[in-house]
Amino acid sequence: MSLTNASPEQAARAAKISSRTLATLPTSARNAALDAIHDALAAAKDDILAANARDLELAKRSAANGELSPSILKRLDLSRKGKFDDMLQGIKDVLDLEDP
């Protein structure tokens, strides 16, 4: 399934199912997956930020109508200085966590 066009409910359901598979993988495989996610996001930065800008325009309208809180709107903005890089660093930080 492509999560690009999935509803939030479908994406959450797919994540739950995938988490069971990931839990059985060795740490090296999970770390390789995190590295691949990091690298893919870094490579697609321009496309992601462009899509985020479009999403923000819709979110700003929702915030103006009172349908979305200003704090959520602020968290959605990946173009804020350092936000995207912090997100990428967060993925790398997970690599350093002890395996539960």
d(CA 92, CA 86): 10
Q: Are the C-beta atoms of residues 45 and 84 closer than 8 Å to each other?
A: yes
* Domain annotation covers residue 63: yes
The backbone torsions φ and ψ at residue 52, rounded to the nearest 5 degrees and listed phi first, read -65, -40
Name the packing angle between helices 45-64 and 27-43 (round to 10°): 80
* Domain annotation covers residue 7: no
Provide the residue range defining the domain that includes 88. 27-96
* Domain annotation covers residue 10: no
Residue 77 has pLDDT above 60, yes or no: yes
**Please, what is the end-to-end C-alpha distance for the chain in angstroms?**
28
Tens digits of per-residue pLDDT, 42-73? 999 999 999 999 999 999 999 999 999 989 98
* Domain annotation covers residue 11: no
This prediction has a pTM of 0.76
* Domain annotation covers residue 19: no
Tally of structural domains, the chain: 1
* Domain annotation covers residue 36: yes
* Domain annotation covers residue 17: no
